[in-house]
Amino acid sequence: MPNNMGLRECSEDQDRIKRRLAKVLALSQKGVGGEKTNARAILEKGLAAHGLTLDDIAGSSDPLQVNVRKWYTYRTKADRTILFQCFFAVMKPGDGSVSYRQFKGKKKIAFDVSVLDHLEIDAMHSYYRRLYVKELETLEAAFLSKHRLFDGTRSSEATEMDLEKQMRIMEMMRGLQRSSYLGPKKRLGNGS
C-alpha cells in the first residue's frame, strides 16, 4: 500500500499558501496607501517563490471575502444616515451595492458586500448608533439648560452627574444658538 501522506501534506501546504496569498491579494486591492503597496510587493514575492499565478489563487479566496447580501433594519432617518455613512467609510467607490426595501413599516437596506465588510459595517453601525443616542441625551440636557426649560427642582440624577458630563453639556450649550422666547404673557406685561 503506497504512502499518500506526503502528497496530502504537500496539498494541504499548497492550499494554506494559496489562502494566505489570497488574503494578501485582497489587502493589495482594498488596502490604503503604503499598506496596499506593501501587500502588492509581498504578493508578487509569494507568487514567485511558490511558482503560482494570480489565477491559481483566485479560486482559493478567503470565505470572509465572499460577497453576500446582508439586510439591515433601521428606524429613523438618523439611523439610516449613520448606516450609510458606515457603509461608505468601509467600502471604496465601486465596491458593494445597496438595495432598499420597505416591509409593512419596517425599513430595510441591503448591502451586497463581503462577509468581512459586513462584520465591519455592522460593528461600526452599532457603535455609532449607541454613541449618537448618548450624544442626543447630552444635547437634550444642553438645550433645556441653555433655554432654562426645567422645573427648578434638582433631581438626584442632576446632582450626581459627573464633572466630565457637566463640562460636555456646558460646551455644547455654548455652541447652541441664542434665542429668547417672548410669549404672550410677557408681551402683555403679565409675565414675571
pLDDT score for 1: 47
pLDDT score for 8: 47
Dihedral of CA 68/76/93/90: which sign? Answer: negative
pLDDT score for 136: 93
* DSSP H stretches of helix in 71-189: 77-90, 115-146, 156-159, 163-175, 184-187
pLDDT score for 133: 94
10-residue mean pLDDT profile of the chain (192 residues): values are: 49 73 76 76 84 70 67 88 91 70 75 84 93 92 85 59 85 84 78 55
Q: Does residue 134 contact residue 122 with C-beta atoms inside 8 Å?
A: no
Cell of 167: 463640562
pLDDT score for 146: 84
Residues 6+ apart with CB under 8 A from 144: 150
pTM, entire model: 0.56
